[in-house]
Structure 1
């Protein structure tokens, strides 16, 4: 079985295209699995095929990345409007990173909104692979009524609900066809010396030779051919399917590519897992593409024995012989399998780096409606994170609550919906309060005596301390300058421990950072002094000093790397500035064409608004990663609001 992915922005008509491709001959079988992935299996010219129709939301890119891992080729479905080329930029980015051979299909040509050549020029800004036009549209007025193949030089007229008919190329299109064909041959000649010589000698190459060359350069991932049509009317779909059949790589080529990229012996690579999900009835199901035959229930795969194997489009168990080579199957009760991953019999090999999803941009605390579901919620979130590469789950260090980091609001709703529908847990989500801290701004000397007599052995400890601010980022520093044994050496560690305890919550209600404590003197009692007494004295003494040391509120600052198409870099400056961030600059992204990496320092409290701003300014294609940089002082009304809110919260 051969396998390809259909991907593209929302509203590009990719699902319609996938359905049309799968319905050209034998009626298809299909199934939609969680996360919006649809599998369609069908036959075309006596060959078995599987189309993987991916979700179109930018928040679902994690699943698009994973599905490409199992694909021989992919079809990027785009709108005919040059203004919409930007929306394809994230898909071109991952296609190029993955090395997956690609065909671009310009859909909805029944409603053209610009010239195809302008669209290709706009798309070319986002990929280093040459985009090569293989067809030109035939127009009557403003309406596209057919297309001309630039290799065979044959023209076809679209017919509603029927296959296109062969027609003569209109006279007014001959010059344009010659021009476009010359551009095609020039592109192909860059990868074939024979063709270059034919062109230099002004000889016309045969169509069969050109088809052979175009097939080779696609399989070698040298170019991206561009075809046109209107999937909603079935126009251009047959030509696209024939291109896949004759020009796209086979499963054997895919296995070689994956093995080479990951450093695996090709002979040991048995399968590739690309999707996983939990359902209430069967538990965990992992979608795997078999890269060899002989896989069946009980087979050792990925370091463990496989459970039941199902046809994902019908839900029926496979026969005793198991799935055919290249087929996709669902592994049930095979919890040792991870997705996405490369699978040998003995081990699971991590997927290549390009499969990784963009960093989550939206964090929320998730709280169960009933405290009885707390443990159940933790288990459910761990399972969701195990099957969703775009989701991360952590714990809030302050409250211990579960923190969900999703790709965006749509993704978050899917996660909360899965908790309710699949795991039967009602939850609510809350914003995360930034991890504020406090520091001191002056030196304070303090003496504190702890004395307690309650019958029996008493408690006594006297300490003299100097409490001072340290440099930003230096943390807690403890030292002692005691002379003459005023404080016995065995009690000094207890003094340090008590000082640390005092920093857990300062006068403003937050942990205290960047403080130095020096034990300068003290007194002890030969009977009543103890480690506990000195720890208590130090804790109370430091607390007293902190309240006198002019505490200031500190807010966390994050470094953010915002990845956007180059045309949007300038528009990020006012967004960052409005959120009280600091612009550090931007550079071209060396890894991918047409993108910049914009760097800034942002308050933690502004990260969610930054995510909204970046999505809005870039039509949803931009994203960013963040990492903690430092703490810096927050003052004025903003600081007062935080301190007052903390006081009310207790």
Structure 2
């Protein structure tokens, strides 16, 4: 076996994903400690974590940026990415999952499957990423391992397969039963340096362990004909063969192994690391893996910038990358030079001379490479599947407090939008204000704070506003003639444009039906460009125009006076005319809201949601609380947390994320 194949076999590229506050970063910090990467444990509540190294992350106690590091366990290198749990930073999860081969999904032992976990789970499905579930916080009051396993099966629709059972409940949780070896692993102390004590399973736990092991053996046997035959005959099944079969089933997505623990109390982390090595795939085993010895193919999935320039994080799928190489950006066709290569350890960098297939690392020197671009050995190489960017739903107007800060603000905003493509910049057509758009208030707050701390810009920020959209409800066709004469060469463009609505979320499509050269071929791209520019600010209410198709039906040109600019201006004017004839309407973002409240406040919570134009979708019981799910317009959710606390004596909490865009009521449309 050559060294590259050995490297691929002994490598795991994994992420840690979860709903906010499920204990994801605490779990990651324990992994760093047990693998020897850290010699002391960083705690979230102390603001001393390794992976949350950004000052805002430490101040807020949440993960904002995905952070990468490299650790080693049992002779296997693990490239680990810790991702945010808050919905406002969902792009960080999305682009991490795009380049990972496996994931640990952390669940709160009390809450079970929560909204953001569900969202991230669907993303992992989309990218075909095998997962291990880690049920955390089993030492907390109300924690219930079996209830969480049931919620995985019911809410996520997966075959959740426990590999362990907890020993003790809530404050008495002290260990796990390993169902493969049928041994008890007991942590007698919270001291992280104390390994678990291996013991016999107590008589009161034995029947439950035997029943759970029978289900485990059945699932493993289904993955291997020889094992299945032995299992049907009642023969003993070797543990190593069971592990191999469980690995095959995990990678194929036949089931999801479930483990138990309490990361904060240092219980269950070593077996979790064992499971990462045993059951999650090496790069060569991942879905759609390319031959490692092929030509260079790498995906840029993240970009960070500082005073020394930009660092692009890449995942190498095939071939290799050396310091000093000249490669091609297959997405743009431009050459790029690799100045330096770095292995990343959170905020520490270790320089490398070469990257090989399977590596995730940082590259310095790339000038025009952005998130989602493909690096290759030739400019016409196949382009890898890019990374979808979530919809922005909220705007703030932003400007420098002083004239001197205007240039620094422009530079800072440019860097932030390059780093985070889910942030958008546009100019308001009426007011001329610069609008910064994002996925939520927290994301925009963080961006504004970065402008102050990183770029030294004091800014004035307007109140958050809903990012409305415009669309059309009917088809329309218009003929427009753009004609201008001012002494010298004139401007002339004639075209007929037909527009029609598309299904919600389809964006914009352009087509040309012009035949016979009525409009010269070189002017047709200018027609599309004019439509795209005009769609940035719709004629009905000034919001971006979405979900429509435009077809260039016919037109004519003048041999001397026609130009690309003339056709671009004609197309923009034609679109504005057509939209006003096509029953335009304003769309508003509608959020999927989940409120967790004590049962005695349920009536008040539901009544308040209804007053906010909410539509209650359902109710559920989770532990000793009631969970209400509803669809509520974002416009009515500003300031909701204060009202919810007042209604529930501070005991209720909520999460929300974009569900869909829907027509806004007439009054809201006019006000927008």
Tell me the TM-score normalized by structure 2. Answer: 0.65
CA distance in structure 2 between the aligned counterparts of 1:432 and 1:478, rounded to whole angstroms: 39
SS in 1 for 2:436: strand
Q: Which residue of 1 aligns with 2:438?
A: 406
SS in 2 for 1:232: coil
Task: Indicate yes or no: 2:303 matched with 1:276.
Answer: yes
Give unpaired runs (5+ residues) of structure 2: 1-10, 40-49, 55-63, 331-335, 481-537, 542-582, 598-602, 619-627
Q: Which residue of 2 aligns with 1:236?
A: 268
Confirm or deny: 8 A CA contact 2:393 2:589 kept in the other structure. Answer: no
Q: 1:223 aligns with which of 236, 251, 255?
A: 255
Q: 1:128 aligns with which of 157, 174, 179?
A: 157
Taking a change above 3 Å as real, the CA distance of residues 611 and 307 of structure 1, as seen in their structure-2 partners, is farther
Q: Which residue of 1 aligns with 2:36?
A: 26
Confirm or deny: 8 A CA contact 2:16 2:105 kept in the other structure. Answer: yes
Q: Count residues in correspondence.
A: 514
Q: Report the alpha carbon displacement of residue 306 of structure 1 after superposing the two structures with TM.
A: 2.0
SS in 2 for 1:622: strand
Q: Which residue of 2 aligns with 1:487?
A: none
Q: Which residue of 1 aligns with 2:315?
A: 289
SS in 1 for 2:176: strand
Confirm or deny: 8 A CA contact 2:109 2:143 kept in the other structure. Answer: yes
User: Aligned-pair RMSD on alpha carbons?
Assistant: 4.5
Taking a change above 3 Å as real, the CA distance of residues 379 and 212 of structure 1, as seen in their structure-2 partners, is same
Q: Report the alpha carbon displacement of residue 118 of structure 1 after superposing the two structures with TM.
A: 0.9
**Which of 1 and 2 has higher RCO (CA within 8 Å, sep 6+)?**
1
Task: Indicate yes or no: 2:406 matched with 1:377.
Answer: no
Q: Report the alpha carbon displacement of residue 112 of structure 1 after superposing the two structures with TM.
A: 5.7
CA distance in structure 1 between the aligned counterparts of 2:163 and 2:325, rounded to whole angstroms: 47
Taking a change above 3 Å as real, the CA distance of residues 330 and 352 of structure 1, as seen in their structure-2 partners, is same
Confirm or deny: 8 A CA contact 1:38 1:53 kept in the other structure. Answer: yes
**Superposed, which structure 2 residues align to 1:562-581 within 5 Å?**
562-563=591-592, 578-579=611-612
Taking a change above 3 Å as real, the CA distance of residues 390 and 175 of structure 1, as seen in their structure-2 partners, is same
Q: 2:288 aligns with which of 250, 253, 257?
A: 257
**Superposed, which structure 2 residues align to 1:529-608 within 5 Å?**
557-558=586-587, 560=589, 562-563=591-592, 578-579=611-612
Confirm or deny: 8 A CA contact 2:139 2:169 kept in the other structure. Answer: no
**Superposed, which structure 2 residues align to 1:56-75 within 5 Å?**
56-75=85-104
Taking a change above 3 Å as real, the CA distance of residues 608 and 473 of structure 1, as seen in their structure-2 partners, is farther
CA distance in structure 1 between the aligned counterparts of 2:405 and 2:78, rounded to whole angstroms: 44
Q: Which residue of 1 aligns with 2:654?
A: 619
Q: Report the alpha carbon displacement of residue 176 of structure 1 after superposing the two structures with TM.
A: 0.4
CA distance in structure 2 between the aligned counterparts of 1:555 and 1:573, rounded to whole angstroms: 33
Q: Which residue of 2 aligns with 1:93?
A: 122
Confirm or deny: 8 A CA contact 2:138 2:145 kept in the other structure. Answer: no
**Superposed, which structure 2 residues align to 1:487-506 within 5 Å?**
none
Confirm or deny: 8 A CA contact 1:72 1:251 kept in the other structure. Answer: yes
Q: Which residue of 2 aligns with 1:331?
A: 363
Task: Indicate yes or no: 2:16 matched with 1:6.
Answer: yes
Taking a change above 3 Å as real, the CA distance of residues 419 and 82 of structure 1, as seen in their structure-2 partners, is closer
CA distance in structure 2 between the aligned counterparts of 1:27 and 1:567, rounded to whole angstroms: 38
Q: Which residue of 1 aligns with 2:213?
A: 181
Runs of 4+ in 1 over 6 A off after TM superposition: 348-351, 432-436, 471-479, 510-513, 564-568, 570-576, 583-586, 596-600, 609-618
CA distance in structure 2 between the aligned counterparts of 1:562 and 1:597, rounded to whole angstroms: 10
Q: Report the alpha carbon displacement of residue 415 of structure 1 after superposing the two structures with TM.
A: 0.6
Tell me the TM-score normalized by structure 1. Answer: 0.67
Q: Report the alpha carbon displacement of residue 153 of structure 1 after superposing the two structures with TM.
A: 1.5
Q: 1:318 aligns with which of 351, 359, 363?
A: 351
Confirm or deny: 8 A CA contact 2:310 2:366 kept in the other structure. Answer: yes
Q: Report the alpha carbon displacement of residue 105 of structure 1 after superposing the two structures with TM.
A: 0.9
Task: Indicate yes or no: 2:389 matched with 1:363.
Answer: no
Q: 2:279 aligns with which of 247, 251, 254?
A: 247
Q: 1:429 aligns with which of 461, 485, 489?
A: 461
Confirm or deny: 8 A CA contact 1:73 1:249 kept in the other structure. Answer: yes
Confirm or deny: 8 A CA contact 1:4 1:72 kept in the other structure. Answer: yes
Deviation readout 1:1-20 (Å, 9 max, x if unpaired): 43211121232222222122
Task: Indicate yes or no: 2:84 matched with 1:55.
Answer: yes
Q: Report the alpha carbon displacement of residue 476 of structure 1 after superposing the two structures with TM.
A: 12
CA distance in structure 2 between the aligned counterparts of 1:634 and 1:2, rounded to whole angstroms: 50
Q: Report the alpha carbon displacement of residue 216 of structure 1 after superposing the two structures with TM.
A: 0.9
